[in-house]
Structure 1
């Protein structure tokens, strides 16, 4: 599992983001929260519409303490967020399965982050276009310069949402097997099974013209590399090595 950065600037601890169970696993510093966010491409956004709870998975990216995500202009979630909607954006990385000597101590190693704020729609077409370009380059460094520009109709069909992180918390478990002291001598198999999301070999589009070279910006997308490492590397290439 990748190491988290050393603590620095932190998000305020409030009743909304304070970790109440196993608080020793909690981190509120920007570096820890941002490292978990930047290692991911997919998040889940929870919100309430007309008293009913919803949770939507979507691609997202971070710029400083601001988060962005996008979707269809016909999306109920996005249309509801237009005037401003309180949301909780979460990211989770499953790092290992943990088998202990009793059912109670079975667990998983993980990294997670919860971010709270008020979502708002980005209506300005130029701002929206810049944000969507940033999304492509955040995931695939340098790729936007190789693509045809989005049409006005495509921009109108896409909605971009932004959210300043008002408060956030990271929670991390990385201890592996944790049994009761008296149980370690029991003849029961116990282990940690690492879990990794890795990139497979590229499968080029069969309709791609002959002679199209593999883009240098995708050099990090090598068969067998961990996705979270690639995502973190791509973020650093676009925004620098700081997580503040």
Structure 2
């Protein structure tokens, strides 16, 4: 169960709060993009970053001279948000139109991963997450590439999850209106793979990464 704090308490739409840690993991693993907040002298900034989970921590990476990573490495408090948009809720009135979504918010501080072997393992874990088996075929990172990459870690000790998947919420007075009501689902389709032009005429076999995406993997008509 997710830990609860004053920062993770959901006040608006509290009935949409979810406390199952597996839901938190699912949202992070499917999103893989975190919007990360930092406070600068010129004002607050929110930057989207690739982010992945290993056990109960989230990792981000970038160049050593990254403004965001330099700021986060100093250990200041930050907030990460992950959002999956699942569709529109179309009501009989404009006021009650809404959306289906899954979202997660993580609070805490980042710490730097300095050990080169551990850094290599975690970066390869990310590659394997998006393309299972790929690290067996590609050239892995060199010492120079690892040294040029900053890797940061944040724990999932303080996080909240909010899921909106409810019914159309029309006023009783509007139920008899001759208006269509229902849902406009959004679905993410992954694949098929598109080769680079340099592979035209080559006999390199196309890999199969569908195991990482389940029902999101594209289905041939």
Aligned residue in 1 for 2:192: 201
Cα deviation 1:119-159 (Å, max 9, x = unaligned): 11212222211111111111111111211121222212221
- Partner residue in 2 for 1:213: 205
Question: Of 83, 94, 106, which aligns to 2:74?
Answer: 83
Q: Which residue of 1 aligns with 2:156?
A: 165
Structure 1 position 94 matched with structure 2 position 85:
yes
Cα distance between partner residues in 2 of 1:91 and 1:179: 29
TM-score, scaled to structure 2: 0.90
Deviation at 1:175, TM superposition (A): 1.5
State the partner residue of 2:169: 178
Whole-angstrom CA distance in 2 between matches of 1:24 and 1:73: 42
Q: Cα offset for 1:51?
A: 6.7
Matched residue count: 217
Q: Look up the SS of the partner of 2:198 in the other structure.
A: coil
Question: Deviation string for 1:182-239 (max 9, x for gaps)?
Answer: 21111123221011121243221111271111224x14479x9526x9xxxxxxxxxx
Distance 1:105 1:94 in 2: 18
Equivalences for 1:135-150 in 2 at 5 Å?
135-150=126-141
Pairwise mapping of residues 95-134 of structure 1 onto structure 2 (< 5 A)? 95-134=86-125
Q: Give the CA deviation at 1:114.
A: 0.6
User: Mind listing any 5+ residue stretches in structure 2 that lack a counterpart?
Assistant: none
2: CA distance between counterparts of 1:67 and 1:42? 11
**Equivalent residue number for residue 21 of structure 2:** 30
Distance in 1 between residues matched to 2:210 and 2:99, nearest whole Å: 32
| Structure 1 residue 67, shift from structure 2 partner | 0.8
Partner of 1:6: none
1:151 & 1:27 partners in 2: Cα distance? 42
TM-score (norm 1): 0.82
Q: 2:216 aligns with which of 202, 217, 226?
A: 226
Contact 2:85–2:186 (Cα < 8 Å) also in 1: yes
Report SS of the residue matched to 1:85. Answer: coil
User: What is the deviation of 1:49?
Assistant: 2.8
Which runs of structure 2 are paired with 1:60-75 in the superposition (5 Å)?
A: 60-75=51-66
Aligned 8 A contact 1:121 1:162 in 2: yes
CA distance in 2, matches of 1:21, 1:191: 23
Decide whether the 8 Å contact of 1:109 with 1:176 is kept in 2: no
